[in-house]
Chain A
Amino acid sequence: MEHKEQDILIINKILQGDRLAFKELYNKYSKFYLLTCLRYVKTKEDAEDLVQESFVKIYKDLHQYDSSKSAFLSWSKRVVINTCLMFLRKKSVFNFMDNIVEMTNRFQMPSQAVENLNLQDLTKSIQALPKGYRTVFNMHVIDGYTHAEIADKLNISESTSKSQLFKAKKQLRINIDETELKFVGLYA
């Protein structure tokens, strides 16, 4: 059975009150949602909180899902991303701290091509980006949002979105050119 048909079957069961089906959905997608969240936030703890919040939203809005319009994975991933963006907006405090204590995150990565890095290293490389760069990079490159959509969702201009993406890519290039992967947090 294909993913899509399988998903529809599970969803119908959940809508009929089948809790085991919900567990099935969780087993199927929790890792993917966690990976998505880890691209937006830096700690697994925060990411798990977001996965939890996302599952609750997905469950609540499940009756609104229309399988004829989009695949469940696409629909649910949007829910997860929106949850992450909401979280980041609330976490402005950490940006402020960045400004104040000049926290710098540096990492060095083996000189390998992107395709040769494993998923965990790639995730770390994204996580090491400053929040603004990271968010725009994730949304545009990995999650397929246009700059106009990013501008709308983040309340920034399109040119800012493009500029942030440019800086993100530049930063990633520098990072990937380094020789070894190491994550160090320095506080001035």
Chain B
Amino acid sequence: MPSNNKKWFNAFNNPELKEEKWLEPSDALFDHISNEIFEKKKKRKLVYWLFGLGSFLILGVGAFMILDSEDKTLSLNEDTINIRPSQSSQNVDFKSASIDNLLSNSELKATDIKPLDGNESESLKSTVSTLPAQLRNNSDNSKNRSSKRTSIYDEELYPDKVFSAKSETTIANKNSQGSQSFKYDVKEKITISSLDGPSKASAQLRPLLSFSEINLLTFLLSSEEGLPPLLNHVYIDDPTDLKNALNNSFSLGISFGLSQWNFNLNNNYITALNPADFSFDNGRGINAGLSLEKKISSNLSFISTLQLEQIDFVSGHNSSANYDLLMETGGMMTNDIALTMATPLGFIDSEVIVNRADNTSTENTALVLDLHNDHRITNLSLDAGVSYALYKNKFINISPTVSLGANYFSSITNELSSFDIDQDGFNSGVTKITSVPQNVKTITPFVSMGLVLNREIGNNFKTGFGIAYRKTLTPIYSEGDFSTNLSSLNLRWTIAKMF
């Protein structure tokens, strides 16, 4: 045959094939190629634009979330706050001072203010009594206030106007400055309405400082319509809610747990593999991850988890092979047999060596090999979603979660761990996997639903236990009519630091 190599080569390397009518391509082939090249190009351009736009939106939203990540909406209970114009504010020339100067001045002055205690209450009352009569009732007894609005008033600065402001504030950028001392920079657009006219102004309410146990927040109220800013202190009688809310604003944790994967082969695939007695088990393994939680409102949180899983599973089936005496080479009573094996993730090629133990056989032998495969998948997943605090008290928080994410199979290893032979006189030798599954989708989107139970431990930490069910939205393996979907169950224990 080697002498024929040239003939074979020549026969198939001559491009002049006009006479070979049997090689005429179908009429539609060129149209298909032309469409593929010239029409898809246009579609591709649109896809690129859409992809670019999508990326821009995602990046924009992401950047906004990062830049705005320090914002937090917090509803201050009317019964727990008492607002009055700051005495210190009266010493600041607001009309000429820049915002930065105001902040610096107020910080300096605020350091002299002590947390609210019995004596301070007396001084507060005397200060509050300087408010106009129509507002005094609301302010004299903060515990009994029922008004939805809190009055802010400075007679010296605004002799002709009375302003009211919503008591809802947004508190952000909490920086820990010592064990019991915090600083908050609060931004909120509030409505200031003049009682003697219809005009309304939008303003920023910015607490600058707070002290131990968050008894005191200092707000800078600045108008956007030419009104000079006001500096106000907010005294909080019961800081528990505020503190809890602030502590929960952002948390970063690590998690560990167990995973179970269920491979859902479609009917076509199962039917095709049945004759080979194909079997597989569910994947089991461990997971570890990083979790992030950011409060959007008092009950709703943005959650995101980056998780690494290592999953092991086995599969196996029968395969027919022919032991060919002519294929024995070098005096060895062995055959090197190439096999294609099925797995839940598609097909892989292997080579197995079958040893002939009995040299009395003089005929080729049909063998049935019982193949056992070990598989390991390393999966990196990232998901983002929301959790809703269904039940919460000072210690426990139970939240259902829902999220969308993507799996990335960073590695898939397969090993033909062993094989049995149905015929006496033969035994199994060395095995080798020679290919990886070709049609595994390494990146697949999934949806996740779960339940998390969190409990605070200490001031800055919380621990939680979560269970999540995940289901891929597209198959992890797809080839013709065959496909496999994945659903998984994750149990996770998390410990998180709250910021």
In the complex, chain A residues whose CB is within 8 Å of the CB of B34: 19, 22-23
CA distance A167 to B338 in the complex (A): 12
Are B12 and A35 in touch, CB under 8 angstroms? Answer: yes
Chain A nearest CB from B5 CB (Å) reads: 5
**Is there an interface contact between A99 and B320, defined as CB atoms closer than 8 Å?**
yes
Interface magnitude class on chain A? 35 or more
A99: chain B residues within 8 A (beta carbon): 276, 319-321, 339-340
Q: Which of A89, A114, A155, A173 is close to B8, meaning CB atoms less than 8 Å apart?
A: A114
Q: Which residue of A lies closest to B482 (CB)?
A: A93
Chain A residues within CB distance 8 Å of chain B: 3, 19, 22-23, 26, 28-32, 34-36, 38-39, 48, 51-52, 55-56, 59-60, 73, 89-90, 92-93, 95-102, 114-115, 119-120, 122, 132, 141-142, 144, 155-156, 160, 163, 167, 169-170, 172-173
Q: Is the CB of A114 within 8 A of B479?
A: no
B349 touching A92 by the CB < 8 A rule?
A: yes
Looking at chain B's contact residues, the main secondary structure is mixed
B22 at the interface (CB under 8 A from A): yes
The answer on a CB contact under 8 Å between B338 and A132 is yes
Cβ contact within 8 Å between A56 and B36? yes
Interface residue ranges, B against A (CB under 8 Å): 1-2, 4-5, 7-9, 11-13, 15, 17-18, 20, 22-26, 29-30, 32-34, 36-38, 272, 275-276, 319-321, 326-327, 329, 336, 338-342, 346-349, 351, 434-435, 438-439, 479-480, 482
A48 to B480, CA, bound (A): 17
**A96 is contacted by which of B36, B37, B347 (Cβ under 8 Å)?**
B347
B32 cross-chain contacts in A, Cβ below 8 A: 52
Contact A51 B15 (CB under 8 A): no
Q: Which residues in A have their C-beta under 8 angstroms from that of B326?
A: 170
- Among A36, A160, A173, point to the contact of B12 (Cβ < 8 A): A36
- Contacts A142-B13, A160-B351 supplied; 20 other A-B pairs, CB < 8 Å: A23-B34, A26-B30, A30-B25, A32-B17, A35-B20, A48-B26, A52-B29, A52-B33, A92-B348, A92-B435, A95-B340, A98-B340, A100-B319, A101-B275, A114-B4, A115-B7, A132-B338, A155-B434, A163-B329, A173-B1
Docked-complex contact B341 and A31, CB < 8 angstroms: no
Interface of A is mostly: helix
B369 → chain A closest CB, angstroms: 9
Choice from A48, A96, A122, A160 contacting B25 with Cβ under 8 Å: A48
Residue of A nearest to B18 (CB): A31
Least CB distance, A60 to chain B, in whole angstroms: 8
Q: CB distance A160 to B38 under 8 Å? A: no
Whether B33 contacts A102 by the Cβ 8 Å rule is no
- Can you show 17 pairs from A to B with CB atoms below 8 A apart? A19-B38, A30-B29, A30-B30, A89-B438, A90-B438, A90-B439, A92-B347, A92-B349, A95-B349, A96-B276, A99-B321, A100-B276, A101-B275, A102-B320, A119-B20, A120-B20, A142-B9
Give CA–CA (A29, B14) in the complex, Å: 11
Residues of A within 8 A of B320 (CB): 99-100, 102
